[in-house]
Amino acid sequence: MENNITSPECCPEFMPLPWDGKLFEWENKKFIKDKVSTFFYMPLNFGKVIKKLNTKIERASAEVPDWLCLSDHTSKWNMDIYLAVDREISDANNVSISGKFLSKVYEGDFKNTEKWMKDFESYTKKNNYKLEKWYMWYTTCPKCAKKYGKNYVVIIGKLI
């Protein structure tokens, strides 16, 4: 599941099976964090922020495991993004995330996000888990989603 950021594709093709309905733990998983401006939750400068982070990663000769980029919608106007890295990046906001997590894969248009979130809440309750926080993982850009014919989104919930 490792993908190098310098892959010739814009976004590697996402394989849902390793992430669908999975329970896992992270112990100090490394990420670099930045902010994206949003307008009613729609990202405005996502590509620009990702390019800035990618430049820092390339300069550090680092990799992005699984091409994992978590989005935390903190308001209608802001989204924090966490890009997984295999080492600390000297000129970035390095953070680590630990805990027990549950993930579920969805496919379709972004307009289904509210439906997916309700389903994920139901899924966690059905499996006797309680959510502390959740992240959205938009696995490909719109151009690559069109190229691959699938728009996968993974919800990753941190469990209490």
* Run means of pLDDT, 10 residues per run, the chain, 160 residues: 47 94 97 95 90 94 94 94 96 97 95 93 96 94 91 97
Q: Is residue 17 part of a domain?
A: no
- The domain that holds 135 is classified in CATH as 3.20.80.10
User: Strands (DSSP E) along the chain, which ranges?
Assistant: 22-39, 42-43, 69-73, 78-84, 93-107, 131-138, 152-159
Q: Is residue 104 part of a domain?
A: yes
The CA distance from 55 to 34, in Å, is 13
Q: Is residue 5 part of a domain?
A: no
Q: Is residue 16 part of a domain?
A: no
Q: Is residue 96 part of a domain?
A: yes
Quote the number of domains for the chain: 1
The CA distance from 19 to 135, in Å, is 13
Q: Is residue 3 part of a domain?
A: no
φ and ψ of 18, to 5 deg: -65, -10
| Residue-level pLDDT at 4 | 40
| Residue-level pLDDT at 127 | 94
Which residue range forms the structural domain that includes residue 88? 22-159
Q: Is residue 141 part of a domain?
A: yes
Nearest Cα residue to 82 out of 1, 146, 144, 158 = 158
Q: Is residue 94 part of a domain?
A: yes
pTM as predicted? 0.89
